[in-house]
Amino acid sequence: MFKSQLRTKDEILAIRAAEEDYAKRTLLAQETVKLVREELANCYMEHGVNHKIACKGLREEYAKLVRDPTHGAGSPNRPEI
């Protein structure tokens, strides 16, 4: 291997920290989607035929989260190396 291809210990630790941060944000985003979905289902059951008006905010929030490829987690941070 060439010396320029090798990473230092600090670079490896920075990359690992960025990966862990992104994994945490991804799990948090997935749980957020689950919670909003459950709230929306409860709202639908609670309001019955009036759910289109009563649950509009939740429905829009859920749609925004589901349409986002990362479900609100954002993109991975690039470590400063």
Q: What's the pLDDT tens digit per position in 36-52?
A: 999 999 999 999 999 99
pTM flag (> 0.85): no
Q: How far is CA 29 from the centre of its chain?
A: 3
In angstroms, the CA 58 to CA 50 distance is 14
Encoded tokens for 77 = 């941070």
Point out the least confidently predicted range of 31-40, 53-62, 63-72: 63-72
pLDDT score of 20 more than 90: yes
pLDDT score of 73 more than 60: yes
In angstroms, the CA 11 to CA 65 distance is 33
- On the 0-12 / 13-18 / 19+ scale of CB atoms within 10 A, 30 is middle
Higher pLDDT, 43 or 69: 43
Tokens 């960025």 appear where? 18
